[in-house]
């Protein structure tokens, strides 16, 4: 965050405690509104957070990923978990620091936000829900910019591409819970992690809100 990732730098730290959190800079472009058709890679334009609240938000996000998501190797090795965690970290960084990403769709992007765009995006999500997927990849499959994609989802579905992807994965988790043999040793946590839900409590709450019952009850009645 103190220097462009492709340039060397040197510094001196005196009497300090710090944690180093690293991420692929390309992730910033994948989760930002600029997307693959933007004006170049997304860059941070300052190393100070927007506010003390933003700094706390980033700190809490890093602690959560470190202590609850990546601490368990069995969970951290799940491809969807790793992808979701990386995208969450990148999105939090963009929400914390000033950067070059644009957030509002331009005129051409609004014109691209048509139902046909949405159909292509929905088909791609349905076909790739079991794989790590970024907003940029969904936009590329729909042949539009990320801004146009986000505008299409907001305009026609009242949601975001990643929120829709999460709902699709929840539906797949529900199907697996229904189909699982309760005597076979399969657990709710295993099925949740398979579909990218790393926090069992939040998965249970989201599942209960959607299906009006606890996931362990669905598994037991399967």
**pLDDT score, position 4:** 62
Q: How far is CA 34 from CA 27, 78, 115, 117, 215, in A?
A: 12, 28, 21, 17, 37
**pLDDT score, position 222:** 64
Q: How large is the average pLDDT for residues 176-192?
A: 87
Compute the distance between CA of residue 154 and CA of residue 149 in angstroms, rounded to an integer: 9
Global pTM exceeds 0.85: no
**Token pair recorded at residue 121:** 């995006």
3-state secondary structure of 33: coil
Phi and psi dihedrals of 58, rounded to 5? -65, -45
Q: What is the mean pLDDT of the chain?
A: 81
**Is the pLDDT assigned to residue 166 strictly greater than 80?**
yes
Cβ burial of 95 (10 Å; 0-12, 13-18, 19+) is middle
Half-sphere exposure of 99 (CA within 13 A, CB side): 26
**Token pair recorded at residue 28:** 């910033």
Domain boundaries, the chain: 1-102, 165-220
Q: Higher pLDDT residue, 159 or 207?
A: 207
Q: How large is the average pLDDT for residues 165-175?
A: 93
**Token pair recorded at residue 174:** 């529900």
**pLDDT score, position 205:** 92
Q: Which CATH number fits domain 165-220: 1.20.1300.10, 3.30.70.940, 3.30.230.10, 1.10.10.60?
A: 1.10.10.60
Kindly report, residue by residue over 11-59, the tens digit of the pLDDT. 787 888 877 888 888 888 777 754 444 456 788 877 788 888 888 888 8
Kindly report, residue by residue over 62-71, the tens digit of the pLDDT. 988 888 888 8
Compute the distance between CA of residue 148 and CA of residue 25 in angstroms, rounded to an integer: 22
**pLDDT score, position 2:** 56
Q: Higher pLDDT residue, 95 or 203?
A: 203
3-state secondary structure of 55: helix
Compute the distance between CA of residue 8 and CA of residue 161 in angstroms, rounded to an integer: 36
The conformation of residue 65, written as its DSSP 8-state character, comes to: I
Compute the distance between CA of residue 64 and CA of residue 43 in angstroms, rounded to an integer: 25
**pLDDT score, position 38:** 47
**Is the pLDDT assigned to residue 209 strictly greater than 80?**
yes
- Using a pLDDT cut of 90, give the percent of the chain over it: 22
**Is the pLDDT assigned to residue 123 strictly greater than 90?**
yes
Of 136, 146, 141, 137, nearest to 109 by C-alpha is 146
């Amino acid at each position: 965050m103190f220097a462009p990732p492709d340039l060397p730098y040197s510094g001196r730290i005196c009497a300090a405690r710090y944690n180093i959190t690293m991420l692929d800079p390309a992730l910033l472009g994948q989760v930002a509104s600029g997307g693959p058709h933007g004006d170049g890679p997304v860059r941070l334009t300052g190393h100070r957070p927007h506010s003390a609240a933003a700094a706390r938000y980033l700190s809490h996000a890093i602690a959560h990923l470190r202590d609850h998501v990546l601490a368990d190797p069995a969970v951290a090795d799940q491809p969807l978990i790793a992808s979701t965690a990386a995208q969450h970290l990148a999105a939090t960084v963009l929400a914390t620091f000033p950067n070059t990403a644009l957030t509002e769709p331009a005129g051409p992007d609004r014109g691209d936000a048509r139902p046909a765009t949405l159909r292509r995006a929905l088909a791609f999500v349905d076909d790739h829900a079991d794989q790590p997927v970024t907003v940029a990849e969904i936009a590329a499959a729909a042949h539009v910019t990320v801004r146009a994609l986000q505008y299409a989802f907001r305009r026609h579905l009242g949601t975001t591409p990643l929120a829709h992807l999460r709902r699709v994965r929840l539906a797949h988790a529900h199907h697996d819970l229904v189909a699982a043999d309760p005597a076979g040793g399969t657990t709710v946590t295993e099925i949740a992690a398979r579909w990218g839900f790393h926090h069992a409590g939040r998965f249970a709450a989201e599942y209960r809100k959607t299906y009006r019952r606890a996931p362990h009850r669905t598994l037991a009645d399967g």
